[in-house]
Amino acid sequence: MPISLSTLLGALALVAAGAAQSLTTVTNWGDNPTNLDLEVYAPTNLTARAAVILALHFCSGTGSLYSQMAKYNSLASSHNFVVLYPSSRKDNNCWDVATPQTLMRGGNGDSTGLANMVNWAVAKYSADPAKVFVTGSSSGCMMSNVMAATYPDLFAAVSCYSGVPAGCLAGSPGSSPQTADPLCASGKNIKSAKAWADLARSMYPGGYNGSYPRIQTWHGEADDFVNYPNLAEQLKQWADILGVTFTRNETDSPMPGYTKIVYGDGTKLLGYSARGVGHTVPVQEEIDLNWFGI
């Protein structure tokens, strides 16, 4: 879904100031069924067995713009990782999180193209396939959940901001504010944990017997665009899939006004509830990297 105006203006100001490290446009990364674009940031001192982060933009955004909002590039040299910044051109530059094609592994939707990007990057940079991660904001968080469901074998962990469960928009006419069924974004698509989990599991034809990625997901309590109940629905979905139950809340963690919602021992599933924060929660790059283990 769209980013807030203040955040967008801030990101544009960074672009104007030339604050970003340069990105490389890549056109030959493999099968691209939905005509996605790709820009990459790879530090000059990258070594073998590097990590790969797939960073997914918000509606009306681009990969380049998201590289300004989420400041992973400045950390890439010291943590030895590559960042992939794809762009969607359709449906108000939102990621397709609604069609059967994208909600199915190998379905030739956006999820297939993104998975192909990841596989290309692992080969291109001699990266560590056990250190591949996905993140994103708003529409990018929605797609992060979809990628964890459709290609769980590609990703070790997810950290995303202000999204919805995988499959929340299934069957919707579109994935943008202008085209989507409003039930999901309004926080009124409520299901049981099992129903959400079964929906995510169905996105892997034939069933998946491996480990699903670790998930942490952030949401603002004052979000009236992708409404706050979607945090609970995401946590229900992944708690069932990951086989963990709610343990405790930690107030003012990791910062004042935020509550960490811990499942199990906290190594597989975390939620973050941000008091007074709207759409979207600001990206917490250092916390993301700690969750990823890089």
**Within a 10 A sphere around the Cβ of 18, how many other Cβ atoms?**
8
Helix (H, G, I), strand (E, B) or coil at 237: helix
- On the question of a cis peptide bond just before residue 280, with omega within 30 degrees of 0, the verdict is yes
Sign, Cα dihedral of 65, 134, 226, 103: positive
**Cβ atoms of 113 and 159 closer than 8 Å:** no
Q: Which of 87, 88, 138, 139 is catalytic?
A: 138
Integer Cα distance of 136 and 56 in angstroms? 4
Integer Cα distance of 260 and 124 in angstroms? 37
Closest alpha carbon to 144 in 292, 294, 267, 249 = 292
Helix (H, G, I), strand (E, B) or coil at 157: strand
Closest alpha carbon to 234 in 276, 178, 287, 281 = 281
Task: For residue 77, give the amino acid letter.
Answer: S
Q: Which segments of 186-245 are extended strands (E)?
A: 214-220
Sign, Cα dihedral of 138, 142, 147, 149: positive
Catalytic residue list contains 138: yes
Give the pairing of strands 51-56 and 81-87.
parallel
Residues annotated catalytic, as ranges: 138
